[in-house]
Chains A and B, each alone.
Chain A
Amino acid sequence: MNYLLSWIIWLPIVGMLAIAFIPRDKSELIKQISAVVSGLQLLLAIYLWSIFDQAVGTFQFMERAEWIPSFNITYILGVDGLSLPMVFLMALIGFIGVFVSWNIDKAVKGYFSLFLLLNTGVMGVFLALDFFLFYIFWEVMLLPMYFLIGIWGGPQREYAAIKFFLYTLAGSVLMLIAILALYFTCGKTFDMLILMETAPIALNGMLWWGMSAIKVIWVLLFIGFAIKVPVFPFHTWLPLAHVEAPTAISVILAGVLLKLGVYGMLRINYTMLPDGVFWFAGALAVLGLINVIWGAMCALAQKDLKKLVAYSSVNHMGYTLIGMSAVIAASTMNGDNLISAQAGMGGAVFQMFNHGTISAMLFILVGVIYDRAHHRDIDGFGGLAAQMPIYTAFVAVAFFAGLGLPGFSGFISEAMIFIGAFPVFKTIVIISTLGILLNAAYFLWAFQRIFFGPANEKYNDLPEINTRELFTVVPLAVITLILGIYPRPFLDMISATLNVLIDSVVSLGGFTSAF
C-alpha cells in the first residue's frame, strides 16, 4: 500500500460521493455507507499503526506529488509519532460518531455528507506536510462544521455556528499571513520538511519594525492555533458551539478538533520557530494555568451538564499547554533535564489523546440522557442511579477518568505533565494541581446531584442505555482503562518522534542573540 495515507484521507470523500448518488429517502443505506467507510478508515488507521516503525523519529510513509509547480506547492503527506495517535483518534471518533448520529432524522443525506467531509479535512491536517495543503485542509473543516452546528444544532444554533466560524476564520487568516511570510523569507517553499530546516536559520536576527520576525510569526501562528485549542481568552466560542452542536458533532469537536490547535503548535511553532519556544514557554505555561483554573471554575458554576463538560475541555487542554512548555527543561540553561522535557512533552501528547477519548465519552453520555429526558439541567434529575444502573456505571467511569483518578489514562498524562513541568515552572505546577481538586469537585458534585439523592418521579421510567449507545461508549472506556493501567504501547509510539522534536527545539533554539 504505497498510498496508505492518501487512502485514509480521501476514503470519506469516496463515501461522500457514493452518498450523493443515493436518493434522499433511503436514509438507512446512507448511514450504512457512512459506517462502512469510516469502519474501513479505522481499519486502515489500525493497519498503519501496526506497520509503523516506532524506533524511527522522522516521517514515514511519505507521499509526494507535483501540484502547483509555479508556486512551489507540492502534495506531501507523512506520518510520525505525533500525528499517528491523532490519526487513530480521528478514525476512531469518526467511526463512533456515525453510530452516535444514528438517530438523526433531519436531512440525513446532507448530514452524513458533511460529516464525512469534516473527517477528510481533519485527517488532512494531521497528515499534510506541505503548508499550503495544511492550510487548505484546515479551512475545509470550517464549512461542514458551520452547517453541522447550524442546521442540526440546538435552539441557539445560528449564533453558535457563526461565532465558531468567525473565530476560527480570524485565527486562520492570521496563520495565512505567517505561512506567506515564512514562504518568502525562508526560500520560497511550502514544504514543511525544508522549512523546518531553513526557518530557524533564515529568521535568526531578522527584524520587522524593530520586532523580531520570529516573535511576529510565532504570535500570528499561536493565535491561529490558540483559537482552536481554545486557549483563554479565545475560548468563548467553545461552550456555545459545544452546547448547541448535535451530540456527534460535540464528540468530534471535543475529541479531535481541539487537538488540531496543539498539534499545529507542536508541528509548526516548535519545529520552525524553536527560538520562539524559549521566548514563549513561560507565557504558554501561564496560559495553560489560566485554562486549568478558569475552565474548572466555570465548570463548577454550570447548571447545564453539556456546558460543564465543555468547560472541562478548556480545563483539560490547559494541562497540555503546561506539558508543552516543559520542553525548555532540556536546554543547558534550564538544567539540561532531558527526562523532564520528555515527561512533559509525552504527557502533553498523551493528554491530547486521553482528552479525545474521555471527552468523547462524556459527550456521548450527555447525549444519551438528553435523548431521554430532553433537557440537561443538572439539578433537574436526581436518583437516576436506581433507574439506570448501567448508564450510571459508565458515567462514573467517564467522570472518574475526567477528574484524573489513578487507574484511568487521564491520571497518567496529568502526572507526566506535572513531573515534566515542575523543574522549570514550580509555582505554576503547584497552583495547577489545585485544578485537579476543582476537577474532582465539579465532576463529583454533578454526579451526586444527578444520580443520588431522592429520585425524581418524572424519570421513573427512563429506559436504560441501549446497545447502540453502549457500542459507542464501551471502546472508549476500554481504551481509557487499558492506557490507565498500561500506557507503555502509547508512549512507545510517540517517544522516538518527541525525542527528535525536543532535540531540535533545544539544539536550534535558545540563542538569546536572536532577539
Chain B
Amino acid sequence: MSNLNSLAHYWPELILTVTILVAVISDLIYRREHSINVAWWVLGGLTLTLFAVRMGGSNVSHLFMGTVASDPFSNFFKVLIILSTALVILMSFNSNELKDYRLGEYFSILTILSFGLFLMVSAIDILMVYLAIEIVSIMSFFLAGYLKKNPHSNEASLKYVIYGAFSSGIMLYGLSLLFGLTGTTKFFEMQNAISSLGSDSNLALILSVVFILVGFGYKISAVPFHFWTPDVYEGSPTTITAYLSVAPKAAGFALLIRFFNQVFGDGTAMASESWMAVNNLPWPQLMAVLAAATMTVGNLVAIQQNSVKRMLAYSSIAHAGYMMMALPLMSQSGVYGIMVYIFVYLFMNLGAFFVLIYVQSEIGGETFNDFDGLGWKMPFLGIVMTLFMVSLTGLPPTAGFIGKFYIFASVIEAGPQYYWLVFVGVVNSVVSLYYYIRVVKHMYLVGERSESIGLPSSHLVTLVLIVLAIPTFIFGWYFNPLTDWINQSLVIFQGM
C-alpha cells in the first residue's frame, strides 16, 4: 500500500503522535509543580488510541510499501501496550522517587516509548524492526536514568546503553547477513528466498539467526543476554522497572513470534498445527535450550535476593523463560499460550510492582524485611499482594495458573520430544514458589501483629490495585473472553 493510502489505516499511531506533541507542548506551558498534569493529556490520548486500535477490527493490511502490518495480532499487543502504559502512568502519581523531578518530559518520553513499541509489534521489514528497537531502546535509556541525582539510576542507564548498543550492533550484523543471503528486507520475501537457498548456506543462516537472537533476546531479557536486567531494573525508578518488565517484553515476544514464524517458518505448512523450520535449521532446539536456561537462571538467582525489587527483576527473567518455552514449537497453540501468558502477566506483575511502589513510599524500603507484618497493618494491600504472588507462582485459581496452563499444554501437545522442557518448567514453578511465598511469609508470618490502619491513604492506589487484582483473579477461573479475543487475534497465522 502506498504511503498516502496507508495513513487511513494508521489511526492509532497518528493519534499517539499527536498525543506526544500535545504532551511536549503542554509540558512547556505548565509550571514545574503542575507538570504532573501532562499525565492527564497522555491518558486521554491513550484512551483515544485504544478506541482507534479496537476500531481496526480484523482488517489485515500491509502499510507503507509493506514495512508495517496492521492486523489483529499487532492490535492485541497494542492494547497490551496501551494498558501497561496507562497503568504505569497512574502508578507514577504515587511514586516517592519521582517527586523531586519534573514529570512532564517523563510522561512524554513514556509515550514516545510506547510509540516505538507499536512499531515493534507491527514491523514486517527488518529496517523497520531495527528502527523500532532503537526508538524503544533510546527512550528506555532516558527513563532508566531519569533519577539524575541517584547514582544507581545513572549506573542503570549507562549499563543499559552499553548493553543495548552492543546487542543491537550484533543484531544489525545478523540482519545484514540475512539481507546478503536473500536480497530483501521484507519478511515474506525473505521466507521465499530462504526456502530456495541450498543447504550450503545453512552456516550463514544459523549465524544470522544467532546474531538476531542476541538483539531479540536482549529485549526479552533471555539468558545469556540478561545480564543488564537486574542492575537496570534495580536502578531505574520502580515505575519504569514495572514498565520495562512488561511492555517491551511483550513487544519483544510479538516481534520474535512474527519474525521467526514468517521468516524461518516453513511456508508450505503455515496454517497447520505445527510447522517445520525452513531448511531444517536447528533453531527450535536452540530456543528450547535458551528457554530452559532462562527460567532456571532467573529462578535460581531470584531465590538469593534480599530486595523485593531485585527479586521481581530476576523473576521477570524466569517469566520470559516460561513464555519462551512455547517458541520452539512454532505451533498455533504455542503462540496462543504466549499471548495468554503475557496478558495475565501484565496484570499480576504490574500489580506486584505497584504494591512495591506503595511500600517504598510508605515504609521507605524495598527489602523483604520492609514487608514484615504488612498483611496485618494494611489488610487490603496484604490480600492483593498475596493474590499477585500466588498468581506469579502460577497456582489456581489465579490468572497466572491459566497462563502457565496454556503454555504447558501447548508444549505437551507438541509431543514427547519436548516433555523434558515441560518438566524443567514445572520444577521451576515450584522453585519460584519459594521466593514468591517469602513475600507472603514476611507479610503475615514474620513480625508483630499490629492494628490495621485500613485502606491505602490514596483512593487512586486502591482503585488501580482493584483494577489489577480483578483480572488476576477472574481470569483464573473464567477465561472464555480472553481466549476468544486471542483466537480472533491469531488471524494472521490462520489465513495467510
Contacts and interface: CB of A to CB of B under 8 A. Distances in A.
B408 A143 contact: no
Nearest to B483: A70
Given A146-B437, A150-B444, A177-B412, A166 B396 contact: no
A142 interface: yes
Interface string A151-168: 100000110011001100
Nearest to B434: A166
B426 A183 contact: no
Interface in A23-42: 24
Contact of B397 (A140, A169, A180): A140
Interface in A69-100: 69-71
Contacts of A107: 376, 449
Interface string B454-496: 0000000000000000000000011110011001000000000
Contacts of B444: 147, 150-151
A209 B437 CA distance: 36
B441 A136 contact: no
B477 A136 contact: yes
Contact of B437 (A69, A157, A165, A183): A165
A68 B434 CA distance: 31
Nearest to A107: B449
Interface in A153-194: 157-158, 161-162, 165-166, 169-170, 173-174, 176-177, 180-181, 183-184
A143 B409 contact: no
A208 interface: yes
A122 B479 CA distance: 24
A162 B446 CA distance: 13
Interface residues of B, number: 36
A515 interface: no
A158 B437 CA distance: 11
A151 B445 contact: yes
A169 B412 contact: no
A158 B441 contact: yes
Given A142-B395, A147-B444, A150-B445, A70 B487 contact: yes
A146 B419 CA distance: 30
B433 A169 contact: yes
B413 interface: yes
Given A107-B449, A158-B446, A176-B408, A136 B397 contact: yes
Given A70-B487, A176-B426, A136 B433 contact: no
B108 interface: no
B322 to A, nearest CB: 13
B413 A177 contact: no
A157 B396 CA distance: 24
A106 B408 CA distance: 40
Contacts of A69: 480
A139 interface: yes
A184 B412 contact: yes
B4 to A, nearest CB: 41
A183 B416 CA distance: 13
Interface string B220-252: 000000000000000000000000000000000
Nearest to A171: B430
Contacts of B396: 135-136, 139-140
Given A143-B390, A151-B444, A161-B445, A173 B480 contact: no
A162 B434 CA distance: 8
Interface string B386-417: 00001000011100010001001100110010
B281 to A, nearest CB: 24
B422 interface: yes
A112 to B, nearest CB: 15
Nearest to A211: B416
A170 B487 contact: no
B213 to A, nearest CB: 28
Interface residues of A, number: 35
B238 to A, nearest CB: 27
Contact of A157 (B427, B434, B445, B487): B445
A173 B429 CA distance: 8
B441 A150 contact: yes
A158 B372 CA distance: 14
Contacts of B426: 173-174, 176-177
A207 B390 CA distance: 36
Contact of A180 (B408, B441, B477): B408
Contacts of A174: 426
Nearest to B404: A176
Contacts of B452: 24
Given A106-B449, A177-B408, A68 B480 contact: yes
Contact of B430 (A106, A166, A184): A166
B397 A177 contact: no
Contacts of B440: 146
B51 interface: no
B423 interface: yes
A162 B419 contact: no
Contact of B416 (A70, A71, A208): A208
A288 B320 CA distance: 42
Contacts of B446: 158
A169 B433 CA distance: 9
A210 to B, nearest CB: 10
A139 B395 contact: yes
A301 B426 CA distance: 37
B412 A181 contact: yes
Contacts of A68: 478-480, 483
Given A136-B397, A177-B419, A183-B409, A169 B441 contact: no
A169 B427 CA distance: 10
A162 B439 CA distance: 12
A188 to B, nearest CB: 9
Interface in A413-470: none
Interface in A47-87: 68-71
Given A68-B479, A70-B480, A107-B449, A180 B412 contact: yes
Contacts of B484: 70
Given A68-B480, A135-B396, A177-B422, A162 B412 contact: no
Interface in A116-145: 135-136, 139-140, 142-143
B433 to A, nearest CB: 6
A184 B423 CA distance: 16
Contacts of B480: 68-70
A68 B478 CA distance: 7
Contacts of A161: 441, 445
B264 to A, nearest CB: 25
Point out which of B427, B430, B484 has the most chain A C-beta atoms below 10 A from its C-beta. B430
Interface in B209-226: none
Interface in A196-215: 208-209
Shortest beta-carbon contacts, A-B, top 7? A173-B426, A208-B416, A180-B412, A136-B396, A139-B396, A150-B445, A170-B430
Given A71-B409, A173-B427, 15 more contacts: A68-B479, A106-B449, A140-B396, A140-B397, A150-B441, A150-B445, A158-B446, A169-B429, A169-B430, A170-B427, A173-B430, A176-B426, A180-B408, A180-B422, A183-B409
29 contacts: A24-B452, A68-B480, A70-B484, A71-B483, A106-B449, A107-B376, A136-B477, A139-B395, A140-B397, A142-B395, A143-B390, A146-B437, A150-B441, A150-B444, A150-B445, A157-B445, A165-B433, A166-B430, A166-B433, A169-B395, A169-B429, A173-B426, A173-B427, A173-B429, A173-B430, A176-B408, A177-B426, A181-B412, A208-B416
